[in-house]
């Protein structure tokens, strides 16, 4: 049988940023803990759905105890580059759908490293209070089923190899596409560090017909659970998913003066869920910050200042006059506003940047997403980079 490519789902805890700790707000935990407790992973559960085209939809639920030692602002998730890939190809193969902390949308941003794409969950100016937190990370990946001569298989490293902390429990639930009966699937598992074939797990088919794996002991740092499923060839097709991860815009390194920028929440047309406004707006802020061109104002700080100044606004507030007025109150140099509309199956993202001193539009960008709403996150990222690219070219 042809060896299946192993997707190393590397997850590690974000270390403190070097230099002075910025003064900012703190996030209260879901449940307090004793400061004498060790920082650790209470539970890592992966809900894996094998789609008809062989790709995977994965939702990872990670319960952590954060005490401000190593886990200070959040966690990060590494997606290793495909073997033999380089340049922008390293970013292909996965697409982020949602990031939550304790059930609420959590800001995140991505960084392309030499061997992986890293997803940071959390905010640089928000320190976690000591306590227990639950992160939920949902994504699509093409690295799913592999085809051999007479069989197809799923070989999946559930929790990864790069943990700095012990883990109390690891589990996974796999939902198979229609046409594959769980009873006919050969299932195996391996536990321990890289290359080890420990058997510290149990597996069964639950009441809903899904395959379940669960570890039977606590794991030390660097230990993982890997699962292997095999079934008859021909049921699952080759992955055809293509996302915005393949649509990259490379911005040159920036060494100039960073401008202070505030971003208003995106406005939505009536046929779009208004609950998308805040997470997509936070993603826009994170993406603009990641370009390295701007000093971003936090959404809460912006709201607090406007409330202190008794500034009231409702509905669309993206006229140049309104943006300049808000920008002067916030003491920023640039204001960014935008809207999200839907026509048929197409989502239209529109952004603009206004200079507060000159009251002129510096840049405008538009991006179209077709199909699923989960493409909006990547669409906002592309639109943000276009906005910066046009802004720089017009200087």
Instruction: Verify that 199 and 254 share a domain, yes or no.
Output: no
User: Cβ(57)–Cβ(49) under 8 Å?
Assistant: yes
Count of Cβ atoms closer than 10 Å to residue 333 Cβ: 17
Mean pLDDT for 215-237 is: 85
- Given a cut of 90, whether residue 377 has pLDDT beyond it is no
Grouping H, G, I as helix, E, B as strand and the rest as coil, residue 52 is coil
User: Cβ(373)–Cβ(244) under 8 Å?
Assistant: no
Per-residue pLDDT at 4: 40
| CATH number of the domain enclosing 286 | 3.40.50.10070
Query: Tokens standing for 313?
Result: 């606004």
Instruction: Verify that 228 and 256 share a domain, yes or no.
Output: no
Instruction: Verify that 225 and 263 share a domain, yes or no.
Output: no
Evaluate whether residue 254 is within a structural domain: yes
Parallel/antiparallel/unpaired status of strands 26-27 and 127-128: parallel
In the Cβ-directed half-sphere of 243, how many Cα atoms lie within 13 Å? 24
Instruction: Verify that 349 and 227 share a domain, yes or no.
Output: no
pTM: 0.55
Instruction: Verify that 262 and 364 share a domain, yes or no.
Output: yes
User: Cβ(64)–Cβ(13) under 8 Å?
Assistant: yes
At 290-333, the pLDDT tens digits run 888 899 998 888 888 888 877 765 545 678 888 999 999 999 99
Q: Which of 232, 257, 282 is the last residue of a domain?
A: 232
At 192-204, the pLDDT tens digits run 988 788 999 999 9
Q: Which of 199, 232, 265 is the last residue of a domain?
A: 232
Per-residue pLDDT at 254: 76
Instruction: Verify that 221 and 261 share a domain, yes or no.
Output: no
Evaluate whether residue 145 is within a structural domain: yes
Largest CA distance in the chain: 70
> Given pLDDT bands bounded at 50, 70 and 90, which one contains residue 62?
very high
Instruction: Verify that 74 and 195 share a domain, yes or no.
Output: yes
| CATH number of the domain enclosing 192 | 2.60.40.1730
Mean pLDDT for 383-389 is: 88
Instruction: Verify that 124 and 67 share a domain, yes or no.
Output: yes
Q: How far is it, in rounded angstroms, from Cα 65 to Cα 177?
A: 35
Look at residues 16, 24, 130 and name the one whose alpha carbon lies nearest to residue 67: 130
Instruction: Verify that 270 and 338 share a domain, yes or no.
Output: yes
Instruction: Verify that 274 and 316 share a domain, yes or no.
Output: yes
How many distinct structural domains can be found in the chain?
2
Per-residue pLDDT at 151: 74
> Given pLDDT bands bounded at 50, 70 and 90, which one contains residue 33?
low
At 70-90, the pLDDT tens digits run 888 888 877 765 544 444 434
Evaluate whether residue 23 is within a structural domain: yes
Evaluate whether residue 183 is within a structural domain: yes
Strand intervals (E) in 252-359 = 259-263, 267-268, 294-296, 334-343, 346-355
Per-residue pLDDT at 94: 76
Evaluate whether residue 1 is within a structural domain: no
Q: Which domain holds residue 45?
A: 7-232
Instruction: Verify that 220 and 263 share a domain, yes or no.
Output: no
Mean pLDDT for 94-103 is: 89
Evaluate whether residue 296 is within a structural domain: yes
Instruction: Verify that 73 and 195 share a domain, yes or no.
Output: yes
Q: How far is it, in rounded angstroms, from Cα 312 to Cα 193?
A: 57
Evaluate whether residue 241 is within a structural domain: no
Per-residue pLDDT at 31: 62
Evaluate whether residue 242 is within a structural domain: no
Mean pLDDT for 114-122 is: 79
Q: Which of 181, 202, 232 is the last residue of a domain?
A: 232
Per-residue pLDDT at 117: 77
């Amino acid at each position: 049988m042809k060896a299946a490519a192993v997707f190393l789902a590397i997850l590690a805890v974000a270390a403190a940023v070097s230099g002075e700790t910025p003064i900012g707000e703190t996030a209260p935990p879901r449940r307090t803990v004793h400061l004498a407790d060790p920082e650790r992973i209470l539970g890592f559960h992966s809900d894996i759905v094998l789609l008809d085209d062989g790709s995977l939809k994965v939702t990872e639920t990670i319960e952590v105890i954060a005490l401000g030692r190593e886990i200070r602002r959040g966690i990060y998730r590494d997606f290793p580059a495909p073997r033999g890939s380089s340049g922008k190809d390293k970013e292909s193969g996965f697409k982020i759908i949602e990031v939550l902390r304790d059930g609420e949308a959590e800001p995140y941003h991505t960084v392309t490293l030499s061997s992986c794409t890293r997803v940071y969950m959390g905010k640089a100016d928000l320190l976690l209070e000591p306590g227990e937190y639950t992160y939920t990370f949902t994504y699509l990946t093409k690295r799913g089923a592999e085809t051999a001569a007479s069989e197809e298989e799923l070989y999946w490293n559930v929790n990864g190899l790069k943990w700095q902390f012990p883990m109390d429990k690891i589990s996974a639930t796999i939902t198979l596409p229609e046409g594959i009966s769980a009873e006919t699937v050969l299932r195996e598992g391996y536990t321990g560090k890289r290359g080890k074939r420990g058997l510290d797990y149990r597996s069964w088919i639950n009441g809903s017909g899904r395959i379940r794996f669960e570890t039977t002991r606590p794991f030390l740092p660097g230990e993982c659970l890997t699962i292997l499923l095999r079934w008859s060839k021909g049921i699952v097709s080759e992955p055809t998913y293509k996302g915005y991860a393949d649509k990259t815009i490379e911005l040159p390194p920036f060494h100039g003066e960073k401008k202070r920028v505030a971003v208003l929440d995106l406005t939505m047309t009536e046929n779009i869920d208004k609950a998308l406004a805040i997470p997509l707006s936070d993603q826009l802020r994170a993406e603009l910050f990641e370009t390295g061109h701007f000093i971003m104002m936090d959404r809460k700080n912006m709201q607090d200042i406007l409330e202190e100044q008794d500034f009231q606004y409702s509905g669309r507030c993206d006229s140049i006059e309104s943006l300049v007025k808000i920008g002067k109150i916030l003491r920023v140099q640039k204001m960014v506003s935008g809207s999200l509309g839907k026509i048929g199956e197409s989502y239209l993202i529109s952004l603009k940047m206004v200079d507060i001193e000159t009251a002129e539009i510096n840049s405008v960008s538009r991006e179209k997403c077709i199909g699923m709403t989960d493409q909006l996150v990547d669409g906002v990222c592309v639109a943000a980079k276009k906005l910066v690219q046009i802004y720089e070219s017009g200087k």
